[in-house]
Amino acid sequence: MRKILRHECRSAWIRKNLSRPGPYVVPMATGTRLLASFVEHPASAGETYLQHLRRALRVAATLAMAAGAALVHALVPALCTTRASDTIFALHDDLRRVRDRQDAA
């Protein structure tokens, strides 16, 4: 691991290194473990940080919509009878396809 010199621009390092898939050379500095976690996990999934962020936000939004449908169904059982479970099953299938693609690569 190399240390960032004080005169180096950390934001330039982030722009340069987070735009490509790993492995990453993470600079030694305060909060290095936190910074490393931002790139190590996405790299282990074969994604850049920004690709991983986009996928995770899409999953979160999908789950929030499923939760909303479940809430509506809890209040009025005749509404959204299968929406939440259908959404969860579709999300599972999508994530399984992503994992299979990553395993094949």
Long-range contacts of 84-89 (CB under 8 A, 24+ apart): 87/62
Yes or no: say if 27 and 63 are a contact pair by the CB < 8 Å rule: no
Tell me, what's the pLDDT at 3?
47
Alpha-carbon span 84 to 65, nearest angstrom? 8
Alpha-carbon span 16 to 42, nearest angstrom? 16
Confidence of residue 90 (pLDDT cuts 50, 70, 90): very high
pLDDT tens, 33-86? 777 777 888 888 788 889 999 999 999 999 999 999 999 999 999 999 999 999
Tell me, what's the pLDDT at 98?
85
Choice between 13 and 78, residue whose per-residue pLDDT is larger: 78
Residue 28, pLDDT above cutoff 60: no
Alpha-carbon span 26 to 71, nearest angstrom? 43
